[in-house]
Amino acid sequence: MERVKIEIDLHRARIWQLEAYSSLPAAVLNAPATRDAYDPSTWWTPKDHLAHSLHIARVVGMIIRHFVFGDIDVASLSIPDRIAVGDVDTLAALKNMDDLLPVVHGRTHEMWAEHHDKSFDEIVAMGEESYAQMFSLLASINEDQLANTVIARGPTVRQSVGEQLATLAGHDRQHWGWAIQGLADRASLG
């Protein structure tokens, strides 16, 4: 039953995402909403938040693949991706959040730069690809792997494959909330 629940949750998250963002007029989708944590002179639009969420879906797929199949060479990954997969050596080198956050914010800014100039339709297509990859990955995981694979992301975070996938919907909604709140805050300032 876990497989069915995961698939339903992924479909619901994607439908919500498409309905929410497509309900915004183009001018709003492309309006400055939130400042970039790495470069405060850069503004994120709601479309940027959607692209970021879809990029994170790819990262989550990489994390799951690493823990289920072990077929990712961690040494070939960037530092932020090593952090994402919970590489103990990389995490040990980062002694505290003051060390970790600049790396994370820098990678997030790189994602913004990679996708910022894409059209909304290109971002939607990116989502189709991300979710297709996610469903293909899910289909390749057997019941034992689905139920018993523990994804360790740092010393305190332990999640099942299903829990890791469930974080996607929460991440999407968090970014939606930031984008909408940012638009409202900017509108109230005039």
Instruction: Please give the tally of structural domains in the chain.
Output: 1
Of the ranges 7-21, 65-79, 92-106, which one carries the lowest mean pLDDT score? 92-106
- 35: in domain: no
Q: Is 34 inside a domain boundary? A: no
Q: Is residue 33 part of a domain?
A: no
Is residue 6 domain-resident? Answer: yes
Residue-wise pLDDT for 65-93, tens only, equals: 888 888 888 888 888 788 777 777 777 77
pLDDT of residue 78: 82
Residues spanned by the domain of 100: 2-26+41-189
CA distances from 3 to 33, 140, 144, 146 (A): 36, 11, 11, 8
8 A C-beta contact, residue 55 and residue 71: no
pLDDT number for residue 147: 79
Q: Is residue 109 part of a domain?
A: yes
For residue 142, tell me if it sits in a domain. yes
Contact 43, 183 (CB under 8 A): no
Please report whether residue 31 resides in a domain.
no
The H or E element that residue 44 is part of is strand 43-44
Task: Return the higher-pLDDT residue of 50 and 58.
Answer: 50
pLDDT of residue 156: 66
Cβ-contact 90, 154 below 8 angstroms: no
Structural domain contains residue 47: yes
- State in Å, rounded, how far the first CA of the chain is from the last one: 51
Domain containing residue 155: CATH number:
1.20.120
**Tens of pLDDT along 113-141?**
999 999 999 999 999 999 999 999 999 99
Does the pLDDT value for residue 151 go beyond 80?
no
Beta strand segments in 47-178, E: 150-152, 158-160
In three-state secondary structure terms, 35 is: strand
pLDDT of residue 104 exceeding 90, the answer is: no
Q: Looking at residue 132, what is its pLDDT?
A: 94
